[in-house]
A and B are shown apart, each in its own frame.
Chain A
Amino acid sequence: MKAICWMGKYKVETQTVPDPSIINPRDAIIRITRTAICGSDLHLYDGFIPTMESGDIMGHEFMGIVEDVGSGVGNLRRGDRVVVPFTIACGNCFFCRKKIWSACDNSNPNAHLMEAAYGYSGSGLFGYSHMMGGYAGGQAQYARVPFADVGPLKIESDLSDEKVLFLSDILPTGYMAAENAQIQPGDTVAVWGCGPVGQFTIASAFMLGAGRVIAIDRYEERLALARALGAITVNYADEDVSVLTAIKDLTGGTGPDSCIDAVGLEGHSAELQGIYDTIKTAFLMETDRPVVLRQAIQAVRKGGTVSIPGVYGGLLDKVPFGAAFGKGITMKMGQTNMHTYMKPLLERIEKGQIDPTYIISHRISLEEAPEMYKVWRDKQENVTKIVIDPWLDRAA
């Protein structure tokens, strides 16, 4: 089959690789019909995530048709159309039973690597380093899905692939980010980052009762999408704009009830701290650039909530913890507990309440993907979301 392989920092290639096969009883093989490039794939592309090995197949947002199932999968059969959650969960451990699916104890074969780095291991993920499981990803024509009796969501209506594809990660991730923000009716919510997750976070914040949403980014096309959802936008790259001042101005000096960091470890800032992080990470004295996290903690109102769907990887410098304590804030974060949100969000799509396709800007083939990784990283061509048809025959 064809697949997109990570071949080192800034280097991905479309290669021909062996097809996957059933290994364990609860496996399924999926013939992938649509897959996407995620913002978090850029952390791999930029070399921020350790334990990648050259040749690794990337991708964790995918859906397709069940091709084969193991003897332990009773609820799926060949021909079923499914969306696959990017986190892998066994369904039976302490964490799965508590519905903290992304903390599953039994889905990461390389748990000891993550234990060494983080103390405990989270669940395995598709195509996201060996520390996170070493599973082949979904930017390919086929994928092996472990614990297929627990994860994949069956699509029984005739909705197009594009309408349901984002149930694999970014729609539930945006929704959980808003839920973690503990929004009360009428609250003001600030969202940093208006990429795909930021978009769905803004939409979800309104669904959960926000009165106002303030959206922060530096790309006009993304801010325009945010305004179309009803948000007030702040472009931090505009001359004379200070994010913290803008947020104070927009909240009568009180601060938002909730601040959501939908950016994560590769944040940018035109201010001094942006230069500080760039230098420190360049000299390996810091792993992440927590520009947005710092701003979110400083901006949130006293007793407010900071929710973090953006991915962080390591050790963060100059996080204003005194401000966090002084204001008595709550922080909630983590990989999305996918399995909890997929079905209710599918129902909303089926009822026509939401249509996530509006963020798609590019539809490409696997051959075109390596070049598009660069476009995606540099935010050229007004890119907002890249969807791949792995069976499309079109050369780069």
Chain B
Amino acid sequence: MAWRKFLDATRADTARRRREDRVEEEPAPGPAPAADDTLQLYFLCAHPSLTPSSAVALTLRAVGGLTTRQIAQAYLVPEATMAQRISRAKRTVAKVRFDQPGDVATVLRVLYLVFNEGYSGDVDLAAEAIRLTRQLARAIDHPEVSGLLALMLIHHARRAARTAPDGSLVPLAEQDRGRWDTTLISEGIAILQAALARDRLGEFQAQAAIAALHADAQTAGETDWVQIVEWYDELTRLTDSPVVRLNRAVAVGEADGPRAGLAALAKVDAALPRHTAVAAYLHERDGDLTKAARLYAEAAHQAPNLAERDHLTRQAARLNARTR
């Protein structure tokens, strides 16, 4: 409860001060001298001249110290392909001259990509992303680095609860919260708290705050959806991303009821991935099971990965079984 109040107060303060502080929000260039080399390597591997897949590969190779074979296995490509991707990336950044300070945001995007790939094969990319973000946090003092680290830790804490023994997805509301790793959650929240106190809000801190609010609820029913919607509003102001607005519609549906959620969803581009899945969920909450079942089946058809496809097909099957 205390944590929720703290977040709420922080958000209010930040909202009040955000506009006048806009210019000072960017960190002062010039990292701590002792960590210069490490930091320079992060900047180089995430250089804007690289494509995201090259930046990810180079970061894992040069900063993370993984072997080319491990990286190839993790991304399910032949080792020779990965070797070429890495050596091309090295050639690209060999021409880079550091006459300007590097951009932390590019590094964070690369680490976020690594974390989000989850894991396959022997290399645990999520754990590797956390390790690299921890190391970055030691090399540079920046609230968004802390925000990303907190976000990763809190999501990682839920990993064991996120999949059933048969490999199927378990949605947040149905997860066994007793299986969440409370040590990781506490660490993530402490890091986030320190970052937010510095009053330089960014998108990763806002995302971490939302994750922290979920982590704070003992049961799904105790989730503070009203505050989550407010953090999504912050996030919309920071990024104005359609994905954020899609997720916000879900939160609005929980805070103000499914009709309000559907109204929020109506303002989001229908071509966006998972739009149909969100519509199905909100229609189910609204009691229109037939429509929800049809939308779940349609969403399964458009699903971006097998786990989601199977999950959505199951949702359609569950509702079809109830309406028969």
B and A form one assembly: no
- The residues of A with any CB-CB pair to B shorter than 8 Å are none
